[in-house]
Amino acid sequence: ETGVTQSPTHLIKTRGQQVTLRCSSQSGHNTVSWYQQALGQGPQFIFQYYREEENGRGNFPPRFSGLQFPNYSSELNVNALELDDSALYLCASSLEVTPGNTIYFGEGSWLTVV
Amino acid sequence: EDQVTQSPEALRLQEGESSSLNCSYTVSGLRGLFWYRQDPGKGPEFLFTLYSAGEEKEKERLKATLTKKESFLHITAPKPEDSATYLCAVQVGYQKVTFGIGTKLQVIP
């Protein structure tokens, strides 16, 4: 049990729609990152939020956006969904941005785009 | 660009048959190397962080080691419950963690 909770666990959307995924970080963790994991692949870094500001971004288009709230919970929003967006979306939290700090993952949200 | 390569992609062991998983990396300025275990349909579960060459960490039947170019995850006398995908990841800067594709381990009773 990592203390990182995500919702919803599973959802199905239609191509072109928009989706919001939610994450509550481990208590006291002010850094949240989001990852996309396609079937049979390792997680791919989407972006990181630190104290409510986007702090780094991977190679994902602008239709992937996020928010972090004062209680450090976070949202991932994806607009104009494409079939290739079907994946497991993982939220991860860590204490501070310090490199090498342990990163704890939630169980993920399974998104299927049809 | 940071690269992480894991081998083998899949490994099938008899219960009690020890083996090693490999993670080779090409990065500039490693800040941390992580090992995670991932069960089907679940999020990655943290196992170890290694920071510098020569470092070793152990947990139950698992032992992780680090050199300047690669890391090994040694599994001693594995049990069926050790079956999972083992992910290796590296961190260079402050944000991005780069993962390998993982090694899918199956331990047969």
pLDDT at residue B29, rounded to an integer: 83
In tens, the pLDDT along B2-61 reads 899 999 999 999 999 999 999 999 988 888 999 999 999 899 999 999 999 999 999 999
> In this model, does residue A2 exceed pLDDT 80?
no
Report the gap between the CA of A25 and the closest CA in chain B (Å).
14
Q: Do residue B4 and residue A42 have CB atoms under 8 angstroms apart?
A: yes
Instruction: Choose among B106, B98, B103: nearest CA to B3.
Output: B98
Contacts by residues A39-46 (CB-CB < 8 Å, ≥ 24 positions apart) = A39/A87, A40/B101, A41/B101, A42/B4, A42/B87, A42/B89, A42/B99, A42/B100, A42/B101, A42/B102, A43/A90, A43/B44, A43/B87, A43/B89, A43/B99, A44/B99, A45/B95, A45/B96, A45/B97, A45/B98, A46/A76
> In this model, does residue B93 exceed pLDDT 90?
no
Q: Does B47 touch chain A (CB under 8 A)?
A: no
In tens, the pLDDT along A23-63 reads 999 888 889 999 999 999 999 999 999 989 998 999 999 99
Residues from chain A contacting residue B87 (CB–CB below 8 Å): 42-43
Confidence of residue B95 (pLDDT cuts 50, 70, 90): confident
Using CA atoms, how far apart are residues B54 and A47, in angstroms rounded to an integer? Answer: 31
- Preceding amide of A61 cis, omega within 30: no
A67 and A76 in contact (C-beta within 8 Å)?
no
- Candidate from A55, A100, A106 with C-beta closest to B49: A100
Mean pLDDT of A2-26: 95
Confidence of residue B69 (pLDDT cuts 50, 70, 90): very high
Mean pLDDT of A79-91: 98
pLDDT at residue A36, rounded to an integer: 98
Q: Do residue A55 and residue B101 have CB atoms under 8 angstroms apart?
A: no
Q: Do residue A108 and residue B43 have CB atoms under 8 angstroms apart?
A: yes
